[in-house]
Structure 1
Amino acid sequence: MKTKIHGIAGMVALLTISTFWMSTILVELFGSHDAIALVKRLIIWGMCLLIPSLIATGISGGLLGKENKSELSRRKMKRMPIIALNGLFILLPSAIVLNYLASNGAYSNTFYLVQSLELIAGAVNLFLITANTKDGFQLTKHPTNS
Structure 2
Amino acid sequence: MNTSTLHAVSATLALLLIATFWTSTLVAELLLGADAVVAVKHAIARYGLIALLLTMAATGASGFALGRGRSGRLLDAKKRRMPLLGLNGLLLMIPAALWLDHKAGLGEFDTAFYVVQAVELLVGLLQLTLIGLNVRTGLQLSGRRRPRIPAQES
Both structures adopt the same fold (TM-score exceeding 0.5): yes
Give the C-alpha shift of residue 65 in structure 1: 1.7
Partner Cα separation in structure 2 for residue 127 and residue 37 of structure 1:
26
Larger Rg: 2
Query: Is contact 1:28-1:36 (8 Å) kept?
Result: yes
Give the counterpart letter for 2:65 in structure 1. L
Partner Cα separation in structure 2 for residue 121 and residue 72 of structure 1:
24
Give the C-alpha shift of residue 66 in structure 1: 1.7
Give the counterpart letter for 2:116 in structure 1. V
Aligned pairs for 1:95-110 (under 5 A) are 95-110=97-112
Alignment equivalent of 2:72, drawn from 70, 73, 76? 70
Query: Is contact 1:65-1:74 (8 Å) kept?
Result: no
Matched residue, 1:94 = 96
User: 5+ unaligned residues in a row in structure 1: which ranges?
Assistant: none
Matched residue, 1:14 = 15
In the alignment of these two chains, the number of paired residues is 144
Runs of 4 or more off by more than 3 Å in structure 1? none
User: 5+ unaligned residues in a row in structure 2: which ranges?
Assistant: 148-154
Higher helix share: 1
Matched residue, 2:31 = 30
Identity of aligned residues (%): 38
1:50 equivalent in alignment to 2:56:
no
Give the C-alpha shift of residue 56 in structure 1: 0.6
Partner Cα separation in structure 2 for residue 70 and residue 106 of structure 1:
49
Partner Cα separation in structure 2 for residue 65 and residue 117 of structure 1:
32
Secondary structure of 2:109's counterpart equals coil
Partner Cα separation in structure 1 for residue 93 and residue 75 of structure 2:
25
Partner Cα separation in structure 2 for residue 110 and residue 122 of structure 1:
18
Tell me the TM-score normalized by structure 1.
0.95
Give the C-alpha shift of residue 142 in structure 1: 6.3
Query: Is contact 1:62-1:77 (8 Å) kept?
Result: no
Computed over aligned residues only, the root mean square deviation of the Cα atoms, in angstroms, reads 1.4
Give the C-alpha shift of residue 70 in structure 1: 2.0
Give the C-alpha shift of residue 68 in structure 1: 2.3
Give the counterpart letter for 2:21 in structure 1. F
Matched residue, 1:118 = 120
Offset from partner CA, 1:113-141 (integer Å, 9 cap, x none): 11011001111100000000000011111
Partner Cα separation in structure 2 for residue 42 and residue 99 of structure 1:
9
Offset from partner CA, 1:38-83 (integer Å, 9 cap, x none): 0000111111211000001011111212232121111011100000
